[in-house]
Chain A
Amino acid sequence: MTIDLPFIWAGLIAFAVLAYVLLDGFDLGIGILFPFLADREERHLAMNTIAPVWDGNETWLVLGGGGLFAVFPLAYAIVMPALYPLIIAMLLGLIFRGVAFEFVHRTRRMQGAWEFGFWAGSLVAAIAQGMALGALVQGIAVEGRAYAGGNWDWLTPFSALTALALVVGYALLGATWLILKTEGKTLARARRFAMWLGAGLIVLIGAVSLATPFLRPEYLERWFGWPSGAWSAIVPILLALAVWQLWTGLRRDGDHLRPFLATVAIFVLCYAGLGVSFYPNIVPPALTIAEAAAPDSSLLFLLVGAVVLIPMILAYTAYSYWVFRGKVDPADGYH
């Protein structure tokens, strides 16, 4: 029996991207919600809930990019130039919001400016990621081993829709994270945000889901053809269950974990839905997982490390979350 290394690696890269979306999703969501919080004290409290973990969360993005370079170099070489303005905007946005964690406490005079940067950087990064997702789903023009489209191919109504959906989705992750990590007025406010964001996200997921199968004939076939259609019917059913969990979690006082987990489940299911559309492509419409893969010797060499190191990473990341567990108390912090 031969092991299909490209397939395994597609799964691992998909896992890294999903981990990034979920983990940095709630970080970015808190940045997006920043201007809607009550005052500076509440904003800093919200920032404190993610301060110990944001760096680790963002490392998954480096793994996604670095991993793509390592195991699917052709996909990396085609997608990055195709999405050039989006990637640059995302990187610049991440700079502003990454340094803000320290900078807001290093200055009085410019504090407001770095808070603004934290919000704007988070928002720009989320929009860029959402648009990149939309552009990828629409498909990318390839000729030979290079991107063959123009500078602005990524800018379409569909990519604007996916950007809006991701911004709302991240904001919902952020709001439900705040429900988990705060108390009192902040908790109540986060819950109200989550209600509205949850409703908005459902509408947007519906819109994206309706548009996607009609973007390309093969998507229609993968969603509604037989036998793959049977599998893809399961995703919407599970999605409805997750939405129900979110709703009941938000209605019930004292259940502070369920809304966050339900939102995570919604993200995972949408991601699985994307997987149904994509497979076996890595860059729709032309490039497949197998075509983009590096030779097996590269895949195997890195797989040995990944098999040993990723479980360790998950373990000490979980430990770090455990160390900083519980509600963040604005009055006495961590000592």
Chain B
Amino acid sequence: MLDSFSAIDLARFQFAFTISAHIIFPAFTIGLASFLAVLNGLWLWRRDEAYRRLFDYWKTIFAVVFGMGVVSGIVMSYQFGTNWSVFSDRTGPVLGPLMGYEVLSAFFLEAGFLGIMLFGRERVGDRLHMAATVIVALGTLMSAFWILSVNSWMQTPQGYSINDVGQFVPEDWWLIIFNPSFPYRLVHMVLAAYLTTAFVVGGVGAWHLLRNRDNRGAAIMFSMAMWMALIVTPIQILAGDLHGLNTLAHQPAKIAAMEGHFESFPEGRAPLVLFGLPDDAAGETRYKLEIPLLGSLILTHSLDTPIQGLDAFPTDERPPSALIFWTFRIMVAVGFAMLGIGLWSAWARWKGRLHEARWLHRAAVLMAPSGFLAVLCGWITTEVGRQPYTVYGLLRTADSAAPLEAAAVSASLTAFIVVYFLVFGSGTYYVLRLMSKEPQNAVDIDEIGPTRAAGITPVAARPTATHVGATGS
């Protein structure tokens, strides 16, 4: 089946597949690590058992998801070399050290303190345990910092020169790290991770409230998640808008594809294309449903600033528009649905019915996986929008790949697909099963087993110690 594709197409499928599978895990664990730190802090501050039980509940889920993030992440760190060796040779002097800093300042930090966070409370005491929990959360954020700097440099490269063998070599590290799109991308992604986690937590809380509205643990997590939805979603929409303005300044072809604008608007006054079918071959968006002038207002915050369409770029410098057009709309739609949930919860909270609002709970359950959808669509928009380049405007994707035969790549791609669906499919099922256990109430350890990702816990001898919190420190 894969025989008809070239080695480079297969390598692109493989990268897209493995990185899409990977991003799901950090999108969740970045937020969950911070949530766990907050829960543990609340437990230490108020000494309310409910927070500690919530901490234990979510840490078990964190351990499973984090493990999957680690193993899928190792694949990424090698795939640059295995499949994109020319890219690695050319960009290594600039991007390699940033990734080196990610490993040294983030990965080791997370791995080093994860065991203590998950299992060390009784061994090191509350204070060091809290420190370990905060350090793991900081580690996830540091990791996001470096890897988003790397990705942003590929989108908006600066601070480099090119040497005689064609390598990008660093001239100014400050310019490289803080390249023009980095601050926007970092804020947008970290907020996305927080929202993703908030909606998962909120969905799980709502699910258990629907089944037992007196469950205090579920009530607490639902309430915390809805505060996040209410406060963070508007900030995220604002951040996304600013990110879009930044992209317009640096990658106008990507914006044109997102907007479905094949034609330029030299006088401004561009419409907003709500829906349509972009057709790259024909060079137009068919069946457009437009709102006049709104496109200019959103993109330039003015009516008469000129806006470039895809026609301003040669066809071999345009990204494929249909995929970008649609993934962007799905992301935006999810964002506004999140805003709706946040406002709805504020209304219910004001009326004092937050924990009884059955339809709100049902909507929150439905929205539980929405963050993952938005994150994936957002990444597809920005990564496909960077095409046909790996380093925007400088190094073409077609010139970045390793000298591999198509047969080798199709074999590895098939193996990745089979293994990922098997392993991460099973993992997702186990996570869902953990989430379906009612929080707060004592859980029979024979049903779910102890957490082991990075720790040693008793097997059967003292089943109550791990989950009920019968032992102090």
Cα A68 to Cα B466 in complex, Å, equals: 41
Asked whether any CB of chain B lies closer than 8 Å to the CB of A98, the reply is yes
Q: A84-B412, A316-B112 are in contact. Are A98 and B67 (CB under 8 A)?
A: yes
B85 contacts A81, C-beta separation under 8 Å: yes
Cα A70 to Cα B453 in complex, Å, equals: 30
A334 contacts B456, C-beta separation under 8 Å: yes
Asked whether any CB of chain A lies closer than 8 Å to the CB of B402, the reply is yes
Interface SS of B by simple majority: helix
B97 contacts A51, C-beta separation under 8 Å: no
A63 contacts B103, C-beta separation under 8 Å: yes
B454 contacts A54, C-beta separation under 8 Å: yes
Interface string of B94-127 (1 = CB under 8 A from A): 1111011111110111111111100110111000
Asked whether any CB of chain A lies closer than 8 Å to the CB of B403, the reply is yes
A52 contacts B97, C-beta separation under 8 Å: no
With both chains docked as a complex, state the minimum distance between the C-beta of A99 and any C-beta of chain B, in angstroms: 6
Which residues of B157-174 have CB atoms within 8 Å of chain A's CB atoms? 163, 165, 167, 169-171, 173
Asked whether any CB of chain B lies closer than 8 Å to the CB of A313, the reply is yes
Cα A87 to Cα B72 in complex, Å, equals: 14
Taking CB atoms, residues of chain B closer than 8 Å to A78 are 85
Asked whether any CB of chain B lies closer than 8 Å to the CB of A61, the reply is yes
Most-contacted residue by chain A among B71, B91, B97, B430 (CB, 10 A): B97
B63 contacts A102, C-beta separation under 8 Å: yes
**With contacts A54-B454, A294-B167 known, what are 16 further pairs, Cβ within 8 A?**
A67-B96, A71-B96, A73-B91, A76-B88, A76-B92, A77-B85, A81-B82, A84-B82, A96-B423, A99-B71, A101-B454, A102-B63, A102-B64, A106-B449, A295-B170, A297-B171
Asked whether any CB of chain A lies closer than 8 Å to the CB of B234, the reply is no
Taking CB atoms, residues of chain B closer than 8 Å to A62 are 73-74, 77, 103, 107
Asked whether any CB of chain B lies closer than 8 Å to the CB of A332, the reply is yes
Taking CB atoms, residues of chain A closer than 8 Å to B276 are none
- Complex: chain B residue closest to A57, CB-CB: B111
Taking CB atoms, residues of chain B closer than 8 Å to A77 are 81, 85-86, 88-89, 92, 402
Q: A297-B169, A320-B115 are in contact. Are A309 and B105 (CB under 8 A)?
A: yes
Asked whether any CB of chain A lies closer than 8 Å to the CB of B300, the reply is no
Cα A107 to Cα B433 in complex, Å, equals: 10
Which residues of A72-92 have CB atoms within 8 Å of chain B's CB atoms? 72-74, 76-81, 84-85, 87-88, 91-92
Taking CB atoms, residues of chain B closer than 8 Å to A98 are 67, 70-71
Q: A51-B455, A56-B112, A334-B123 are in contact. Are A69 and B408 (CB under 8 A)?
A: no
Cα A67 to Cα B101 in complex, Å, equals: 9
- Complex: chain B residue closest to A111, CB-CB: B449
- How many pairs, one residue from A and one from B, have CB atoms within 8 Å of each other in the complex? 292
Most-contacted residue by chain B among A72, A301, A310 (CB, 10 A): A301
A-B contact pairs, 8 of them (CB 8 A): A84-B404, A88-B412, A102-B451, A106-B448, A107-B426, A301-B173, A320-B113, A334-B123
Asked whether any CB of chain B lies closer than 8 Å to the CB of A1, the reply is no
* Among B85, B93, B111, contact of A80 (Cβ-Cβ < 8 Å): B85
Stretch of B288-296, B309-317, B457-465 lying at the A interface: B457-465
* Among A52, A91, A145, A334, contact of B454 (Cβ-Cβ < 8 Å): A52
Cα A145 to Cα B403 in complex, Å, equals: 11
Cα A79 to Cα B433 in complex, Å, equals: 42
Pairs A-B, 3 closest by C-beta atoms: A73-B92, A70-B96, A80-B81
Cα A5 to Cα B235 in complex, Å, equals: 45
B453 contacts A51, C-beta separation under 8 Å: yes
Asked whether any CB of chain B lies closer than 8 Å to the CB of A298, the reply is yes
Which residues of B437-473 have CB atoms within 8 Å of chain A's CB atoms? 448-459, 461-462, 465-466, 471
Which residues of A219-255 have CB atoms within 8 Å of chain B's CB atoms? none
Asked whether any CB of chain A lies closer than 8 Å to the CB of B80, the reply is yes
Asked whether any CB of chain A lies closer than 8 Å to the CB of B427, the reply is yes
Which residues of A281-335 have CB atoms within 8 Å of chain B's CB atoms? 294-295, 297-298, 301-302, 305-306, 309-310, 313, 316-317, 319-320, 323-324, 328, 330-335
Interface string of B422-436 (1 = CB under 8 A from A): 010011001001100
Taking CB atoms, residues of chain B closer than 8 Å to A54 are 454
A65 contacts B81, C-beta separation under 8 Å: yes
Asked whether any CB of chain B lies closer than 8 Å to the CB of A38, the reply is no
Cα A157 to Cα B384 in complex, Å, equals: 44
Asked whether any CB of chain B lies closer than 8 Å to the CB of A268, the reply is no
Which residues of A88-116 have CB atoms within 8 Å of chain B's CB atoms? 88, 91-92, 94-96, 98-99, 101-107, 110
Taking CB atoms, residues of chain B closer than 8 Å to A110 are 426
Taking CB atoms, residues of chain B closer than 8 Å to A94 are 71, 74
Asked whether any CB of chain B lies closer than 8 Å to the CB of A59, the reply is yes
Taking CB atoms, residues of chain B closer than 8 Å to A101 are 67, 452-454
A66 contacts B103, C-beta separation under 8 Å: yes
A56 contacts B419, C-beta separation under 8 Å: no
* Among B72, B75, B81, B448, contact of A69 (Cβ-Cβ < 8 Å): B81
Interface string of B21-38 (1 = CB under 8 A from A): 000000000000000000
A328 contacts B456, C-beta separation under 8 Å: yes
Asked whether any CB of chain A lies closer than 8 Å to the CB of B415, the reply is yes
Cα A36 to Cα B461 in complex, Å, equals: 25
With both chains docked as a complex, state the minimum distance between the C-beta of B101 and any C-beta of chain A, in angstroms: 5
Asked whether any CB of chain B lies closer than 8 Å to the CB of A146, the reply is yes
Asked whether any CB of chain A lies closer than 8 Å to the CB of B68, the reply is yes
Q: A58-B70, A107-B430 are in contact. Are A85 and B408 (CB under 8 A)?
A: yes
- Complex: chain A residue closest to B401, CB-CB: A81
Asked whether any CB of chain A lies closer than 8 Å to the CB of B405, the reply is yes
B99 contacts A298, C-beta separation under 8 Å: no
Taking CB atoms, residues of chain A closer than 8 Å to B92 are 69-70, 72-74, 76-77, 294, 298
Asked whether any CB of chain B lies closer than 8 Å to the CB of A55, the reply is yes
Asked whether any CB of chain B lies closer than 8 Å to the CB of A266, the reply is no
Cα A242 to Cα B471 in complex, Å, equals: 45
B74 contacts A91, C-beta separation under 8 Å: yes
Asked whether any CB of chain B lies closer than 8 Å to the CB of A147, the reply is yes
Taking CB atoms, residues of chain A closer than 8 Å to B82 are 80-81, 84, 87-88
Taking CB atoms, residues of chain A closer than 8 Å to B419 are 92, 95-96
* Among B70, B173, B415, B459, contact of A333 (Cβ-Cβ < 8 Å): B459
A66 contacts B85, C-beta separation under 8 Å: no
Q: A44-B459, A316-B112 are in contact. Are A302 and B75 (CB under 8 A)?
A: no
Cα A67 to Cα B452 in complex, Å, equals: 29
Cα A146 to Cα B399 in complex, Å, equals: 13
Which residues of A37-56 have CB atoms within 8 Å of chain B's CB atoms? 41, 44, 47-49, 51-56
Asked whether any CB of chain B lies closer than 8 Å to the CB of A151, the reply is yes
B169 contacts A334, C-beta separation under 8 Å: no
Taking CB atoms, residues of chain A closer than 8 Å to B77 are 62, 65-66, 69
- Complex: chain B residue closest to A69, CB-CB: B96
B89 contacts A74, C-beta separation under 8 Å: yes
Asked whether any CB of chain A lies closer than 8 Å to the CB of B78, the reply is yes
Which residues of B50-91 have CB atoms within 8 Å of chain A's CB atoms? 63-64, 67-68, 70-75, 77-78, 80-83, 85-86, 88-91
Taking CB atoms, residues of chain A closer than 8 Å to B171 are 297
